Structure 1
Amino acid sequence: MLQGLDILIILLYLTGTILIGLALRKRAHKSKDDYLMGGKSLPWYTMGLSNASGMFDISGTMWLVTLTFVYGFKSIWIPWLWPVFNQVFLMVYLSAWLRRSNVTTGAEWILFRFDSGRGGRWSHAIIVVFAILSCLGFLAYGFIGLGKFVEIFIPWEIVSTYSPFDIPAAYLPHFYGIIFTLFAVFYSVLGGMSGIVWTDVLQYGIMTVSSIVIAVIAWQAMGENTLNVPEGWLNPFFDWELNMDWSGIIIEVNSKIVSDGYSLFGIFFMLMVFKGILSSIAGPAPNYDMQKILSTKSPLEAAKMSAFSIAALIPTRYLMVGGFSILGILFYEDLKLSTAGVIDFEKVLPAAIEQFVPVGLLGLLLAGLLAAFMSTFAGTLNAAQAYIVNDIYLKYKNPLASSSKIKLMNYSSGIVVVLISIVLGFFVQDVNSILQWIVSALYGSYVVSNVLKWHWWRFNGEGYFWGMLAGIIPALVFPIFTDTLDLYYFPIILLISIAGSIIGTYSAPPTNKKVLKDFYKNTRPWGFWGPIHRDITAEDPNFTRNNGFSRDMINVVVGTLGQTLLVVIPLYLILHETLPMLVCIAILIVCIIFLKMNWWDHIKKEPNIKNK
């Protein structure tokens, strides 16, 4: 139950976000680039903090706390579904490749790669459809997580006395989601990218303080209590089967494990890594992540931003995730996890906050977590607006629109997207179900076309269009007719998409040679670019091929190891496991030194890396 001081802190925070939106409104409306990209003038470290804050979302944090509570150290692998290591691929080479294009959105990048002929137009259209679907999915995911979260702190019994209508218990999360969504809409629609970034920096500060406080509370509780968990909970390694039995401890968790579908953990892990590597090589999906890369000052700053995002996000987030998971297990009997008589383990995070966080700090933490929701929501909304305004309105409807018309379109498109996402949110059962669909089914449709676009010269716009369409249709249809983990039909979506890509590619001539040469010279990808490379070297004998594939892949492996160590170190710290923590820190230092020599010392010398 919230006290007066907590409510005051939350209101001050929400007021602050509105003031930031109003303060940056004038600057945001100088031009389209100022609104959608902050004028490409924001420093890499503020962009990195903004990116970290945007990924520190409330639904994702609820999901991670539930995973850690249920699966213990084995939960460190499950976020590879996303995959979390895509940030390592971005850091090592993909951020720089993407930023060299100097475009405004992912859909504009498609024209940079495929030209503006029929193939370019088709591929441009399908990526806009995917981008808007992706943004709507993420907005619904954030919306349902926020509603579940707020429901615990503001009981309907209190609100109902002031409400003119009655709301069924099943729809309370949706009601609360709508209320807090409106604040996020206000500052993101008014302030554009600058408003989002500077609000994110404020949010990151709040989240860091909150994470440290929670970790300290959990660390102290561990010193006074014994952690009663199943065998294997403290071990990150696994066999073909999960073999985790909560019987005699918290027997209801066994039902959660069955419903999640992770029991055959070895097969799940192999599929997850396979999908994760392909998704990472494909590059960022056209959402707030890509938007922030395109908004950096230069390719080198884009790479630095991605590296800093990893360092800023993971230790801070896992201090909070580990702290709440461990407090939840230690004091499980004190948590209020049921809704309409059914135990909901996705409520471990808000229930633990209500139970263990003292007055004053509770207001700060709630402000931080509301901030996390608003950050993700605002960033995703900004990306959706960019696609609607840039890639539909200005391209097809009104290319010569005045600033006032563009401003009106930014506002109205943002409001329409929010309304659609709220409607979708009413059909979502829980955070896990929408997350599984986004990362396994929807992103499965994205993989093939977006791997081939970087690495195969013959791949054209028609191939891109048919590959994406062949993936998107089953991604939308399969969940209606199948009742299984979305990851398990990823290989089927992949095969259908491969067939669509190959057939589509050979149904049309190659992309214009001039476009391919411009793309190859500017982006400098490795892959199957032999004919284009020969044409360029015939004109410019000094042009050199990018031979960095092996080095990049080694750096990705080392970077992913380092990223995983950043996850387990906070967990070992809270659990008083000093020796494993020190071993992990030592390995992490070796990873950092290796990346300094094999990544940083090379990337800063690359051609075009510092160009604005």
Structure 2
Amino acid sequence: MTAIDTIIIAAYFVVVMGLGLYYQRSSAASLDSYFLGNKDIPWYLLAFSGSATNFSVCGTVWQISVLFFLGMKSFYIHLAWGSVIPAFWMAYAAIWIRRSRVMTAAELVQLRFGPGSGSRCARTSYALLGVLGAAGIIGMAFVVLAEFSKVYGLPPVKTATAITLLTSAYVLLGGFKGVIITDFIQSILLALSGIVMAVIAYRVVDPQILAENIGNIDDWLSLGIPEKTNVPEYENFRSITLSRMFIGTMLCFTVTAGGFGEQRFLAAKSTAEAAKISAFWNIVLIPRWLFTAAIAFLGLYAFSDINRDQVDQLLPMVLNKYLTTGIRGLVVVSLVAAFMSTISSLINSGASMMMRDIIQPLLKTGDGEKRLVWLSYLSTAIIIAAGLAIGIISCSYSTLNSLWSWIMAGLGASVIFPNVLRWYWWRVNGWGFMTGFFSGLVVALLMLIPNFPLSDNAMSILCVLVSGAGCVIGSLLTEPVKEDYINEFYKRVRPFGFWKKVYKRLGMSEQDHKKRSDNPYLVFFNAIIAGIALHAYYMCSIYVVGHFFKETLISLAVAAVTSIVLYFTWYRMTILKEQESKEE
């Protein structure tokens, strides 16, 4: 790392810390200021922030590795982890979340289930899951940053700790608004790095040598689903992928966005702006795929003999080989920005659930805003400490893949079915939700037992099914949500699904229900078209970097046609309708 590169990185840290100090006063006014920015932040800045948060270093390293070894069929792995879920946010989920008018994703649980011990337990359980998930992903990002530091001769744990604490400082001071503004800067840096890396890869990589290094180029480009691959984790590719795609599909119907996503939708000025956030969010994320493709192709070009254990080092190896002074500083600082953006959003959203859903319900109702803000600082510090602890321990005793797999396939799977049912079936209650979650969690914890006889893949499916059964049984064996509260939820959110008993009780006919609720046929049509468009844009980004021009034109044509369709079926029929509505 040269002096110029170091100066670029140092200047970046000065800027983000300065922004944290600048927004400290306005963020400290109230909980709404600290966690939602008073709902006066432009929707496009919220979209930039969501995009920067998704451009995580750990996720990008994983995407590079599966593209490197599996080629274009790696997109099925992304589908298995719910990569289409942004299309569902765009079609209706972001609108439903914003209509709730709450502060956190866990508070929305209590809005759905009303007061009572079952509802409080469900809300607390959901908040604990959000806090644990946030701390776990912070720890995972810590591991990637530590590994990245080794390549530059820096002490891994100390470097990752220092950057985490610097990030924590501006999050602690600046609150949500500070996170959003710094995320905007980080998003611009990440977009520039993606474009720069794509240009370098396009110019450096010789298509003929690339094809020779890949070996079977037709297989690498194929979008078929083979029964077997030579990658150990995906040896039984077809069975693993199809079963995980079941979980990914279920995830799309949960109307959830990882905590930090709900926070951005809830901070939008209106329901229409919440939907626009989710659409623009993914457009801004396209440079991530340019970056992923560039590193994968440069790796295949120069390091095609790398083994599976070394693939996490591929990113810094490529940067060291191909980047010049100044450009290296820009790309490295953008990766640091990606790390900081991911953990800053997780810190703030995790702290919001800890404060709003765990600490505040235990306080006296008369506690003033100033004290609540100070307790928010404490919540933020707890999330930071937990993430650091998980990261430091994981550097010694875990691997990135195992940590990621358990968070997604175990912890996340345990709440998928209860999350789905609470939106579409009126009979689900707090006790049922909690029973489903803890039933699934028991199965998820079994995944941590060494040499357990069932594979993680089978356990993940079992986790989803057990949690679903637990949710249904627990709900039917206990009293339904009180009429006043389920009626209020229905009138505010206006969901579709199995709500006949509720709207009949409100004196509405089926036609009134259909007119008042979002049209499910239009919603799911838009979600499917948006999912196709989303992946067409992503595939186009990869094809063009690799000089695959026929595939580039095909994917670009698909992206253009689906975008035109969405203009008429989504923007004109959904967004304009929401803009005309007088509701928030």
Q: TM-score range by the shorter chain?
A: over 0.9
Give the one of 322, 331, 355 matched to 1:365.
331
Counterpart for residue 415 of structure 2? 446
Q: 8 Å contact 1:455–1:529 — kept in the other structure?
A: yes
Residue 567 of structure 2 corresponds to residue 596 of structure 1:
yes
How much has 1:319 moved relative to structure 2?
Answer: 0.8
Conserved 8 A contact 1:241-1:266? yes
1:138 is displaced (CA, Å) by 1.1
Q: What is the aligned partner in structure 2 of residue 331 from structure 1?
A: 302
Q: CA deviation at 1:416?
A: 2.0
In the alignment, what sits opposite 2:315?
349
Q: Which residue of 1 aligns with 2:74?
A: 75
In the aligned structure 1, how far is the partner of 2:311 from the partner of 2:377? Answer: 37
- Distance in 2, matches of 1:541 and 1:229, equals 58
Q: 2:449 aligns with which of 475, 480, 486?
A: 480
CA contact (8 A) 1:44 1:304 kept: yes
Could you say which residue in structure 1 is the equivalent of 2:425? Answer: 456
- Whichever residue aligns with residue 392 of structure 2, its letter is F
Cα distance in 1 between the residues matched to 2:32 and 2:582? 20
Whole-angstrom CA distance in 1 between matches of 2:553 and 2:174:
44
Give the aligned partner of residue 164 of structure 1.
none
Deviates more, 1:223-232 or 1:266-275: 223-232
Q: What is the DSSP-based 3-state SS (H/G/I as helix, E as strand, rest coil) of the residue aligned with 2:248?
A: helix
**8 Å contact from structure 1 (residues 101, 522) kept in 2:** yes
- Taking structure 1 as reference, are residues 542 and 289 closer, same or farther at Cα in structure 2, changes over 3 Å only? closer
Aligned to 1:435: 404
In structure 2, the residue matched to 1:271 is 243
2:448 alignment partner, SS class: helix
The one of 210, 213, 217 aligned to 2:200: 217
Paired with 2:171 and 2:561, the residues of 1 have a C-alpha distance of 41
User: Structure 1 residues 356 and 590 mapped into 2: Cα distance closer, same or farther (>3 Å)?
Assistant: same
Query: Any idea what the Cα deviations from partners look like across 1:79-109, whole Å, max 9, x if unmatched?
Result: 2233121111100011001110100001211
**Counterpart in the other structure of 1:406:** 372
User: Does 2:157 align with 1:186?
Assistant: no
Matched with 1:251 is: none
Farther off after superposition, 401-410 or 8-17: 401-410
Query: Are the aligned partners of 1:324 and 1:349 in contact in 2 as well (CA < 8 Å)?
Result: yes
What residue number does 1:375 align with? 341
Residue 390 (structure 1) aligns with: 356
CA contact 2:30–2:370 (8 Å) conserved in 1: no
Post-superposition offset of 1:578: 1.5
- The aligned residue for residue 226 of structure 1 is 209
Partner secondary structure for residue 520 of structure 1: helix
Aligned partners of 1:27 and 1:34 also within 8 Å: yes
1:522–1:608 contact (8 Å) kept in structure 2: no
Quote how far apart the aligned CAs of 1:481 are. 4.0
Q: State yes or no: 1:522 paired with 2:492.
A: yes
* Deviations 1:564-589, CA, capped at 9 Å, x for gaps: 11111111111222222111111111
Report SS of the residue matched to 1:87. Answer: helix
Q: Is the 8 A contact 2:81 2:245 kept in 1?
A: no
For residue 474 of structure 2, what is the aligned residue in structure 1? Answer: 504
- In the other structure, the counterpart of 1:322 is 293
Match of 1:416?
Answer: 382
Shift of 1:400: 2.8
Over the matched positions of the two proteins, sequence identity in percent amounts to 27
Q: Which residue of 2 aligns with 1:293?
A: 265
Structure 1 residues 236 and 89, CA gap change in structure 2 (3 angstroms): farther
Render the CA deviation track for 1:259-315: whole Å, top value 9, x for unaligned: xx21222112211221011111012255211211111111111110001111110x2
Cα distance change of structure 1 residues 233 and 358 upon mapping to structure 2, 3 Å threshold: farther
1:280 aligned to which of 252, 263, 276 = 252
CA separation in 2, counterparts of 1:233 and 1:359? Answer: 37
SS at structure 2 position matched to 1:417: helix
Question: Matched residue of 1:317: which SS?
Answer: helix
* Alpha-carbon offset, residue 404 of structure 1: 3.3
Any idea what SS the aligned residue of 1:283 has? coil
Alpha-carbon separation, structure 2, partners of 1:135 and 1:276: 20
How far does the alpha carbon of each residue in 1:295-348 deviate from its partner, in whole angstroms, 9 at most, with x for none? 1111111110001111110x2111111011111111117x9x79xxx9421111
Q: Which consecutive unaligned segments of at least 5 residues does structure 2 have?
A: none
Contact 1:240–1:267 (CA<8 Å) still a contact in 2? no
Write the distance in 2 (CA, Å) between the matches of 1:542 and 1:527.
Answer: 14
8 Å CA contact 1:441, 1:487 repeated in 2: no
* Counterparts of 2:457 and 2:257, CA distance in 1: 18
- Over residues 450-486 of structure 1, what are the superposed CA-to-partner deviations in whole Å (9 max), with x where a residue is unaligned? 0010011111111111111111232233222446763
Report the CA distance between 1:224 and its aligned residue: 7.4
Structure 1 contact 105–286 (Cα < 8 Å) conserved = no
Shift of 1:540: 12
Contact between 1:555 and 1:595, CA under 8 Å: does it hold in 2?
Answer: yes
- Residue equivalent to 2:227: 241
Alignment check: 8 A CA contact 1:46 1:201 kept: yes
Greater shift, 414-423 or 528-537, is seen at: 414-423
CA distance in 1, matches of 2:537, 2:530: 11
How many angstroms does 1:197 deviate by? Answer: 0.5
Question: How much does 1:145 deviate?
Answer: 1.1
Q: Tell me the amino acid that sits aligned with residue 324 of structure 1.
A: I
- Counterpart of 2:112, as a letter, is R
Task: Tell me: CA distance 1:399–1:233, structure 2 relative to 1, closer, same or farther (3 Å).
Answer: farther
Does structure 2 conserve the Cα–Cα contact (< 8 Å) formed by 1:225 and 1:330? no
- Please give the alpha-carbon distance, in whole angstroms, between the structure 2 residues aligned to 1:183 and 1:412: 17
Distance (whole Å) between structure 1 residues aligned to residue 580 and residue 383 of structure 2: 37
Quote the residue 2:279 is aligned against: 307
2:185 paired residue number:
202
**What's the TM-score, normalizing by structure 2?**
0.94
- The answer to whether the 8 A contact 2:406-2:447 is kept is no
Residue 116 of structure 2 corresponds to: 117
Cα 1:277–1:541 shift into 2, 3 Å: closer
| TM-superposition CA deviations, 1:153-204 (whole Å, max 9, x none) | 2x04xxxxxxxxxxxxxxx533322121111101111111100100011011
Task: Return the offset for 1:376.
Answer: 0.6
Is the CA contact (8 Å cut-off) linking 2:494 and 2:518 kept in structure 1? Answer: no
Q: Deviations over 1:335-369 (max 9, x none)?
A: 9x79xxx9421111121112211110111111111
8 Å contact kept, 1:72–1:234: yes
Contact 2:85 2:251 in 1 (8 A): yes
Q: Secondary structure at the match of 2:479?
A: coil
Maintained 8 Å contact 1:81/1:440: no
Q: Which moved more, 1:297-306 or 1:61-70?
A: 61-70
**Amino acid of the residue matched to residue 214 of structure 2?**
V
Asked whether the 8 Å contact 2:503–2:509 carries over to 1, the reply is: no
Aligned-partner Cα distance in 1 for 2:209–2:468:
52
- The superposition leaves residues 489-534 of structure 1 with CA deviations (integer Å, 9 ceiling, x where unpaired) of 1121122212211221022111011111111122111111111111
Q: Deviations over 1:228-284 (max 9, x none)?
A: 10324532423442445xxxxxxxxxxxx21xx212221122112210111110122
- State the partner residue of 1:162: none
Which amino acid letter does the alignment assign opposite residue 582 of structure 1?
Answer: L
Task: Check whether the contact 1:298–1:610 (CA below 8 A) recurs between aligned residues.
Answer: no
Q: Distance in 1 between matches of 2:344 and 2:50?
A: 12
What does 1:544-583 align with in structure 2 at a 5 Å threshold?
Answer: 544-546=515-517, 548-583=519-554
- Cα distance 1:542–1:279, how it changes in 2: closer, same or farther (>3 A)? closer
Matched letter for residue 460 of structure 2: F
Q: Which amino acid aligns with 2:121?
A: W
CA distance in 2, matches of 1:526, 1:540: 11
Q: Is the 8 A contact 1:218 1:574 kept in 2?
A: yes
Q: 1:76 to 1:216 in 2, by over 3 A?
A: same
2:127 matched to 1:128? yes
- Provide the C-alpha distance between the structure 2 equivalents of 1:577 and 1:207, rounded to a whole number of angstroms: 24
